[in-house]
Amino acid sequence: MTIERTFSIIKPDATARNRTGAINAMIEQAGLRIVAQKRIRMSRQEAETFYGVHRARPFFGELVDFMTSGPVVVQVLEGDNAVTAYRDLMGATDPAKAGPGTIRKVHAQSIGENSVHGSDAAATAEKEIAQFFAGNEIVG
């Protein structure tokens, strides 16, 4: 068992359709524990910093517009191999390619409006968690 933490965002397309609880149920059913959670409206600056690695990509502007278009729920998830476990639960970036039973297959609308974010590696998770949570907001 390697207990680790990952960073998750329930994106604006999902909060707009009242899917927070349904997504949280899938997260908990997969054995991940929600050890921190808050609903926020991301500023442009926060979104640009968060997705800085995609700055040169053609969809960057669209991505920042989308992530600031409505409320998001930022979360810290804890569990055995949480980074990989959550990526598996999310499914492929494009919901049309996501496997059955994954969050994106069940809830996402398109490759852009794809309901959830999850860190791609443990080091990224640490950085992403620190952008949105203070240590005393995470209760394992």
Rule CB under 6 A: which residues touch ligand GDP? 54, 59, 62-63, 93, 111-112, 114, 117, 120
Q: Between residues 36 and 72, which has the closer beta carbon with respect to ligand GDP?
A: 72
Q: Between residues 5 and 117, which has the closer beta carbon with respect to ligand GDP?
A: 117
In angstroms, give the least distance from the CB of 97 to ligand GDP: 10
- Give the active site residue among 12, 117, 119, 129: 117
Q: Between residues 79 and 118, which has the closer beta carbon with respect to ligand GDP?
A: 118
In angstroms, give the least distance from the CB of 63 to ligand GDP: 5
Rounded-to-10 torsion of CA 63, 64, 69, 70: 90
Task: Report the first-to-last Cα separation within the chain, whole angstroms.
Answer: 16
Rounded-to-10 torsion of CA 95, 97, 100, 101: -40
Would you call 54 a catalytic residue per the annotation? no
In angstroms, give the least distance from the CB of 32 to ligand GDP: 17
Distance (Å, rounded) from C-alpha 76 to C-alpha 127? 12
Residue among 111, 106, 131 nearest 25 (CA): 106
In angstroms, give the least distance from the CB of 131 to ligand GDP: 15
Burial (CB count within 10 angstroms: exposed 0-12, middle 13-18, buried 19+), residue 119: buried
Q: Between residues 100 and 135, which has the closer beta carbon with respect to ligand GDP?
A: 100
Residue among 46, 139, 2, 1 nearest 117 (CA): 46
Active site (catalytic) residues: 117
